[in-house]
Amino acid sequence: MLKVAKFGGTSVGTAESIHKIATIVAADPEIAVVVVSATAGTTNQLQELLHNLKAGSLDKVKTIFTAIKKRHLDLVHNLSLDKERAAAEVQEVISALEHLILSRAGGPTGDYSDSFRDSLLGLGEKLSVLIVAGHLRKQTQKKIHYVRAEEVIITDDCFGCANPLSSLIQENVRTKILPYCMATSGLVITEGYLGATVDGISTTLGRGGSDYTAALLARALDDLAPEQFQLQIQLQIWTDVSGIFTADPRIVPAARPLRQLSRFVAAELAYWGAKVLHPATLLPLLDTNVDIWVKNTFATEEEGTLIQSKNSTESKVEAITLRRAQSLVTLSRVKRHDTYGFLAKIFNLLTSFKISVDHVTTSEISTSFTVYDTSLLDTAVIEKLSELAEVQIENNLCLVSMIGNNLIEIQDLLGPISKTLALIGQRHNHKYVLRSMYLGAGSNNISFLVDEKIAETIILELHRYYLEKC
Ligand code: ASP
Ligand code: MG
């Protein structure tokens, strides 16, 4: 077995947690690739730094820069790496950050291209990887080989949410990763979240994208493995909770970790709002036999969640998720009466603005959809949409999704949902409870839009009904 282990932001966040990583890696000879996130909060800080740089608030930029620098130099020191090569390497990345800042310190008139943003945001991982590599070199018997993700994860130039180019990635994994991780005691370590275009310009895979990096590497190794070594590949996502839960435990105290899940259910869960996995993580692995474990760095004795390749045949609700701050766009077809091509025009338009839509419902005279990133719904988009139809936008909605297997085969699926919604609506004296609803085509989810004021209560009640009774 060859394991790709990804460690998230909190797992690389402190000297103690990095020490835990070393213990995990040293105890398992099958871990051959390690992917790391930036230290918890650093990517947010870099984003804030960029914001202040653009605004010309150089004092704030300096404060954030100093905090990032101090945090990483403290880690180097607390892990006793001061005299190791990691210290000099970390210093180099800090200088690169300083250089990027100085190159744009001109305030609002500076050049803040999307590629500049990606090269800045990626620095968090470039720092953490060096520290973790340095510590693993010192604390384990493994032969640690650091490979820059930008040399392996080749993507298109959709900055901020770049799309991987799988055949190029596979070739890079074959030549730059496989030989090192197959060597006795060999371990390759790389950054999550980062990639580069074919021309070597830095890109990022979207926030939380380190999981996706690890999945892409596991996929490439799985494609290469049968050919060369008949190896079983496993992906491990090490985080700060003990697996994927039936609901967000901050909303539902009775939520519990799921022991096993099928690929499709896990993919839906990640997509519809369970924060543990990046939404795209499962996609490269859907048609493979790679087992995926979600485990807790801080409680290694706990089992975690196993995401299996086989699909369950049992009909049941497995989890409930919530996505906040949804905007519902409704387009009423009053301006033109095209009988065909209307949806195509809308989606082409949205594609040209790189807006991805989620929850789509359509009727004879109107079509509505939710938008995940509502900041993308700017005036330019709305003006263009208004040329095609009358546009109405409703904000402050939440998307509640019930995820599971073969939901359509649950005899009374809607009964308890409608009773719950009606009761809560009456209790809160709400004009309407349900704004929109749909049953996912794959029969793995039923989602509905509700007012954010009652969303949490709805989740609590539905969890009680579907997931707490035996
Ligand atoms: N550091 C990146 C982020 O915070 C990627 C990740 O943590 O997965 O979004
Ligand atoms: Mg994450």
**C-alpha dihedral sign at 230, 236, 242, 248:** negative
Residue 251: exposure state from Cβ atoms within 10 A (0-12, 13-18, ≥19)? middle
User: Which atom of ligand 1 has the smallest separation from the CA of 211?
Assistant: 8
Query: Closest-lying ligand to the alpha carbon of 205?
Result: 1
Rounded (5°) CA angle 125-130-133: 115
Q: Which residues line ligand 1 (CB under 6 A)?
A: 9, 37-38, 43, 124, 192-193, 207-210
Which atom of ligand 1 lies at the shortest distance from residue 9's CA? 7
| pLDDT for res 53 | 92
Which two structure tokens, joined as six digits, stand for 134? 């340095």
Contact 433, 450 (CB under 8 A): yes
Query: From CA 469, how far away is CA 251, in angstroms rounded?
Result: 18
| pLDDT score for 76 | 98
DSSP 319-342: EEEEEEEEEEEEEETTS---SSSH
Query: Shortest CA distance to 211 belongs to which of 281, 268, 265, 133?
Result: 281
Hey, how many other C-beta atoms are within 10 angstroms of the C-beta on 271?
A: 23
Q: Atom 2 of ligand 1 has which residue's CA nearest to it?
A: 208
Which ligand lies nearest to the CA atom of residue 46 in the structure?
1
Structure tokens at 405: 């297997």
Pairing of strands 445-451, 434-439: antiparallel
CB within 8 A of 252, min separation 6: which ones? 246, 320, 459, 460, 463
Domains of the chain are 2-311 (3.40.1160.10), 317-468 (3.30.2130.10)
Query: pLDDT per position in the chain (470 positions), as tens?
Result: 999 999 999 999 999 999 999 999 999 999 999 999 999 999 999 999 999 999 989 999 999 999 999 999 999 999 999 999 999 999 999 999 999 998 887 677 777 899 999 999 999 999 999 999 999 999 999 999 999 999 999 999 999 999 999 999 999 999 999 999 989 999 999 999 999 999 999 999 999 999 999 999 999 999 998 666 678 999 999 999 999 999 999 999 999 999 999 988 998 898 887 888 998 999 999 999 999 999 999 999 999 999 998 777 788 999 999 999 898 999 987 655 566 788 888 899 998 988 888 888 888 788 899 987 777 788 889 999 998 889 999 988 999 999 999 898 888 888 989 999 988 988 888 777 888 888 887 788 999 999 999 999 999 999 999 999 75
The widest CA-to-CA distance across the chain, in whole angstroms, is 73
Residue 339: predicted pLDDT:
66
Question: Ligand 1, residues 34, 193, 211: which to mutate, most atoms within 8 A of Cβ?
Answer: 193
* Contact call for residues 189 and 146 (beta carbons, < 8 A): yes
Q: Which residues surround ligand 2, an ion (CB under 5 A)?
A: 8, 208
The pTM score is 0.90
Under 8 Å between Cβ of 235 and 293? yes
Query: What 3-state class would DSSP assign to 376?
Result: helix
| Spatial distance between the Cα atoms of 202 and 212, rounded to a whole number of angstroms | 16
Each residue of 230-242: pLDDT tens digit?
Answer: 789 999 999 999 9
| CA neighbor of 193 nearest in space, from 183, 184, 203 | 203
| pLDDT computed for residue 334 by the predictor | 61
